[in-house]
Amino acid sequence: MDPAAVLTEAGSVNERLTAGGDLWLRPWAPDDLDAVLCAFTDPEMWRQSEEPVDTVPAAAAWIAARQRHWATGTGYSWAVLDARSVVLGCVEVGAVNRRHGCGWVSYWTTKAARGRGVATAACRTASDWALYDLGLHRLELGHRLNNPASCQVATRAGYRPEGVQRDKLRYDGRWYDVEIHARLVTDRGFAAAS
Ligand SMILES: CC(C)(COP(=O)(O)OP(=O)(O)OC[C@H]1O[C@@H](n2cnc3c(N)ncnc32)[C@H](O)[C@@H]1OP(=O)(O)O)[C@@H](O)C(=O)NCCC(=O)NCCS
């Protein structure tokens, strides 16, 4: 893949990234409050945040935390948008450790946007950027074994499975096994977002 394809036009990390088709990524902004609140009304989304995102202050805090991560270089979280600038989801390279050159990737899409390749394109684009532009070496992610859609996204974005962590997560008193995937900057044979 051509690394330039994921660089921002101005070469700045604050500029937008194109993700193929009419999808594009930009850092979260305070104006996204309603979109964040709306996305988190989906019951599938409650596991995507340590704290509930069900009030205006909670949504504002969620956005502010992501802006802090950008400012401190500890995480890079993007809103995923369509041509009309409707927020379709989120992709994040978090827990960035520059010493070891690694980061933890996560993603979600709004209920209405699912099943049309949005998470896959966003994950590929953010991953390409983190590996080829930011300069990380290894990106990791994990999904519950009972989340096959997330496994599919990871696999199609170039993340190889590395094993299962037993009883890694607990929700509502139930333990869940988590499959770990990783993508290295040295991995070959993977085509970037088109
Ligand atoms: C998981 C999630 C991010 C997927 O987003 P998406 O935009 O629908 O993903 P994509 O359309 O790019 O790809 C989903 C793939 O999973 C497949 N899929 C969906 N449900 C599936 C299932 N039950 N079993 C197997 N595959 C499934 C789809 O067919 C698609 O693959 P395809 O393009 O080959 O057909 C989205 O469902 C979501 O936000 N869920 C709630 C939050 C979450 O679970 N985040 C991930 C945490 S690890």
> By mean pLDDT, which of 12-21, 38-47, 126-135, 175-184 is the weakest?
12-21
Domain boundaries, the chain: 13-184
Q: What single DSSP character describes residue 132?
A: I
Name which residue sits closest to atom 6 of ligand 1, judged by CA. Answer: 114
* 3-class secondary structure, 175: strand
How far is the centre of ligand 1, averaged over its atoms, from the C-alpha of 142 (Å)? 14
Identify the band that residue 188 occupies on the pLDDT scale cut at 50, 70 and 90.
confident
Q: With a 6 A CB cut-off, is 119 part of the ligand 1 pocket? A: yes
More confident residue, 6 or 116: 116
Is residue 120 in contact with ligand 1, taking CB distance under 6 Å? yes
Quick: pLDDT tens for 41-87.
999 999 999 999 999 999 999 999 999 999 999 999 999 999 999 99
13-184: in CATH 3.90.1150.10:
no
Q: Which tokens in the block code for residue 2? A: 């051509």
Specify the pTM. 0.92
Q: Is residue 191 over pLDDT 80? A: no
Which regions of the chain does DSSP assign to beta strands (E)?
Answer: 17-18, 24-27, 76-81, 87-97, 102-109, 138-144, 160-171, 174-184
| C-alpha 39 to ligand 1 mean position (Å) | 16
Q: Pick the range with the lowest mean pLDDT from 34-38, 127-131, 185-189.
A: 185-189
DSSP letter, residue 11: S
- State the helix-helix crossing angle for 118-128 and 148-156, rounded to 10 degrees: 40
Which of 125, 153, 180 has most ligand 1 atoms within 8 Å of CB, for mutation?
Answer: 153
Alpha carbons 147 and 23: distance in angstroms, whole number: 24
What local confidence, expressed as pLDDT, does residue 2 receive?
34
pLDDT at 190: 63
Between the CA of 79 and the centroid of ligand 1 the distance, in Å, is 17
Specify the pLDDT at position 9.
39
115 lines ligand 1 (CB under 6 A): yes
Q: Tell me how far the alpha carbon of residue 71 lies from the centroid of ligand 1, in angstroms.
A: 30
Residue 64 CA to residue 75 CA, distance in Å, equals: 12
